[in-house]
Structure 1
Amino acid sequence: MKRAVIVRAKRTPIGKRNGILKHFQAHELAAPVLSQLAEGIEGIVEDVILGNVTGPGGNLGRLSALEAGLPLSVPGLMVDRQCSAGLEAIRLACYLIQGGAGACYIAGGVESSSTSPFLKRARFSPDRIGDPEMLEAAENVAQKYNISKERQDHYTLLSHKRSWETFENGYFTEEIVAIDQWMKDEAFFKKRNMQALLSRSKPFTVNDHGTVTAANSCGINDGAAAVVVMEENTALSLGFKPVLRFVDSQVAGIHPCYPGAAPIPAIRNLLEKNQLSVEKIDLFEINEAFACKIIACAQELNIPYERLNIRGGALTLGHPYGASGSILVTRLFHEVQKQKEIKYVIAAIGSGGGIGVAVLFEKVH
């Protein structure tokens, strides 16, 4: 079986909805990332696979590739697995390489919430099963796993601290491709007093048991991220140093009323299939859509916070839906190069409709 490796990974700055990136269409966000990733290898890129959630429809993979100036021979594909779309695109590229379909792909995701033509989200599930709004679904997870507001606020503070430390150390800079004059995430334009914000934020639900607030939830955002996935021998022959090698992945479905818990069975099944334990995984990146989601995953899988989202995440930077899964992999790509003793890492994300995707990589030494 051929082996898929990641040799490059980049993202745009992440902007708030109707913020710094509000004038950029989705393909205009993706194009600078694709252009930089394809530099010098334009002639061997066999396809561009992009995840997207909120429109504008059509084949954003093809449109973005053309906007980026890639050869007309690069076809392009768009995939939608809701918030898992960006991670699914990378997963698909890895399997295409394993199966011998090609040797070089650019895969990732993009979201322009600011320019989306859709006023409402898509339907995730039939009403007879349950199709809650995401805030309600997050509260469902908090109640099911007995996660208090205090625990969610505590994790949010931890994530916020980690994100700001990462930014101040300059680590995010190596991930980012500039969009226009923007070279840093909008979240870092001004530091907020998160302790005060968390204290005064009220739960969305009106009953006495509400725990999920605006402060311990992610924002809605714009951004793009992608990676270059190559067949390993091809990468070596071209002088690339592979960083992450694809090992395996799993997708799991759960009740649509608890989408935040979907990474739990996906990660558990992935570990069991590969005869690995949580202790063998050096780093986990799980999308921080809601603090309760991360706490539930850590609690049920016994993941220590010391190995989970160690550079912060979407609770500070934001969640550009279709791009978020590929942002996780981009983060891992750059992080493993800082740490010598890493062997295995996992990226995972949950999606509307109750779908979890988890991907296992090993660091190439």
Structure 2
Amino acid sequence: MTSARPSPTDAPVIVGALRTAIGTAGMAFRDVVAADLAAPVLAELAAPFDGLLPHDVVLGNCMGPGGDVARVSSLAAGLPVEVPALTVDRQCGSGLAALDVGSALVRARPGLVLAGGVESASTAPWRFWPPADGEDPVRYERAPFAPQSVGDPDMGLAADLLAEECGIPRERQDAYAARSHARASATTSAGGFTAEIVPVDGVKADERVRDGLTVERLARLRPTFRPDGTVTAGNACGINDGAAAVALVDATTAASLDLPGLRVLATATAGVDPRRPGLGPVPAVLAALSRAGVTLADLDVVEVNEAFAGQVLACCDALGLDDARVCEEGGALALGHPWGASGAVLAVRLFSRMVRADAGELGLAAIAVGGGQGVAMVVQRCR
């Protein structure tokens, strides 16, 4: 640990952080559209700040109905029509990108901003390319992450190839996944997620977590993306629904509220080869740490989105980060990965561990993005 800590007096502060439970697509939230997932979280976040009206709402979203999901969510939450809202799309990094935008907004204009993300894979509309030459319309599952001329692999295939190139064997991936489930199961049993979850349709617990999921059970699963690959349904994230958001204020407002929170010391976004998007967190983390003036050794809490065990392990190896330090209460392999919300879920987890549980002074959130990008944020507990 370093003896000197950065403490910029003008840094934005997270003073509240909440999320829904994370549902498996087609199950608990199968009929809940994106705006109706996000609205209860926004309403609950805004409630303690009676008299302090948010001057903006920013939400990340990837596969929603289009339009401005943040605006629909804001109005559904009962926020006044005078509160504007913005939807951002940095694919899987959208939720953390929204916090970056929100931090800039409160720097520019003092006050309160609600920022986060939402995804409803269950209710995502079907999309089609326009018909050509008399052919039937062709449905597409996702928008392009990058031009085909550059390389645009699906995230799963890219993660499988990355694991092979980085020498990460199947056994290590399965062991990591089993540990994520064990940690999340223990945290659930201990009530560690309760304070951060806003019930929606009576759902109060994450659906995907599996108690007793062992390496032996995971070893029985077949490779998903290549016959001789190492990525399986067990060591990869699920397809999920959920929402998460934080309340961001400027430093002066934070001082007047006299609430514990997380000071946003630095954020960073970086680009990498679109053919290996899973490595995106590496340069983003290094940049964010440099801007914050801290090192990996200084961090007390590390939350990296667990899209694929092999991908997270590749990032840890590249950074020289002990993978046992990542998501110590379970990550997305167990909880789920609601794309546009996942970056914000990481911030909620930092808040729960560092503020609610008083478990550290410096924290990091990081996430990989399809198309070859990474987003990272360094925070410091204050008060």
TM range (shorter): over 0.9
Over the aligned positions, Cα root-mean-square deviation in angstroms equals: 1.6
1:292-307 matched pairs, under 5 angstroms? 292-307=310-325
Q: 2:85 aligns with which of 73, 76, 82?
A: 76
User: In the alignment, which residue of structure 2 is the partner of 1:252?
Assistant: 270
Gaps of 5+ in 2: 1-8, 127-139
1:170-319 matched pairs, under 5 angstroms? 170-188=191-209, 191=211, 193-208=213-228, 210-237=229-256, 239-319=257-337
How many percent of aligned residue pairs carry the same amino acid? 43
The change in CA–CA distance for 1:131 and 1:302 in structure 2 (over 3 A counts) is: same
Q: 1:44 aligns with which of 53, 69, 85?
A: 53
Aligned partners of 1:273, 1:6: CA distance in 2, in Å? 18
- Mapped contact 1:140–1:257 kept (Cα < 8 A): no
Tell me by how many angstroms 1:205 deviates: 4.0
- Mapped contact 2:278–2:369 kept (Cα < 8 A): yes
Tell me by how many angstroms 1:41 deviates: 2.8
Range with bigger deviation, 353-362 or 131-140? 131-140
Task: Look up the equivalent residue of 2:184 and give its one-letter code.
Answer: S
User: In the alignment, which residue of structure 2 is the partner of 1:35?
Assistant: 43
Tell me by how many angstroms 1:235 deviates: 2.6
- Mapped contact 1:197–1:215 kept (Cα < 8 A): no
Task: Look up the equivalent residue of 1:241 and give its one-letter code.
Answer: L
User: In the alignment, which residue of structure 2 is the partner of 1:26?
Assistant: 34
Residues 21-53 of structure 1: CA deviation (Å, up to 9, x unaligned): 011010000000001001143552101100000
Tell me by how many angstroms 1:254 deviates: 0.4
Aligned partners of 2:235, 2:167: CA distance in 1, in Å? 16
Tell me by how many angstroms 1:338 deviates: 5.3
Gaps of 5+ in 1: none
User: In the alignment, which residue of structure 2 is the partner of 1:160?
Assistant: 181
Matched, 1:361 2:379: yes
Tell me by how many angstroms 1:196 deviates: 4.1
Matched, 1:111 2:130: no
The change in CA–CA distance for 1:341 and 1:152 in structure 2 (over 3 A counts) is: closer
Aligned partners of 2:189, 2:367: CA distance in 1, in Å? 26
The change in CA–CA distance for 1:275 and 1:230 in structure 2 (over 3 A counts) is: closer
Residues 203-233 of structure 1: CA deviation (Å, up to 9, x unaligned): 124453x111111000000000000001122
Tell me by how many angstroms 1:269 deviates: 2.0
Q: 1:330 aligns with which of 348, 351, 361?
A: 348
- Mapped contact 2:353–2:360 kept (Cα < 8 A): no
The change in CA–CA distance for 1:246 and 1:9 in structure 2 (over 3 A counts) is: same
* Alignment length (residue pairs): 361
Tell me by how many angstroms 1:101 deviates: 2.4
Tell me by how many angstroms 1:171 deviates: 0.6
User: In the alignment, which residue of structure 2 is the partner of 1:345?
Assistant: 363
State the TM-score, normalizing by the size of structure 2: 0.91
Tell me by how many angstroms 1:202 deviates: 1.3
State the TM-score, normalizing by the size of structure 1: 0.95
